[in-house]
Structure 1
Amino acid sequence: MQQLKNHSVNPSKELRMVTIAVFKKMEHAVQLSKKITNKGFLAYVATRIGNKNGLNYRLLIPEEIHKEVKKLLIH
């Protein structure tokens, strides 16, 4: 399982991902993803086709580190 900086994901648990941001442009999603991964956290960018808005990009992180990443983004 992915080892995170000062955090480890429990390999016996299912890794639940949560969406922390939705973008219309891939560049914006990738930029924020790089900021998170450079701090040692796991982040994914996923595409999704919406009903009304067309294609959008979602930034996903593990639920277990959601609070730590939120603090990182606020400061």
Structure 2
Amino acid sequence: KLRKIHRLDALLDEAVKLMPELGSFHEFCERASSYYLADRYPPFGSLKVTEEDIRKDLGSAKKLIKHIFPEEKLND
């Protein structure tokens, strides 16, 4: 059964059952989820994120997309 959820790490846990190679993206998905939650629910905390952190995670996001959708064209 599909469930509505915003935590990418939880979604990744399900995806890994079908594509085990995605397991290497777990830390990235945890960080990306924290970005969303901090932005959506500011009273629960703020993040100290640098531009370098964002650039690194953007690269990880693109790699994850390419793993799931190999035919997808992404802008660099």
TM above 0.5 = no
Instruction: Name the one with the larger strand percent.
Output: 1
TM-score by length of 2: 0.31
Which has the higher relative contact order, 1 or 2, with Cα contacts under 8 A spaced 6 or more apart?
1
TM-score by length of 1: 0.32
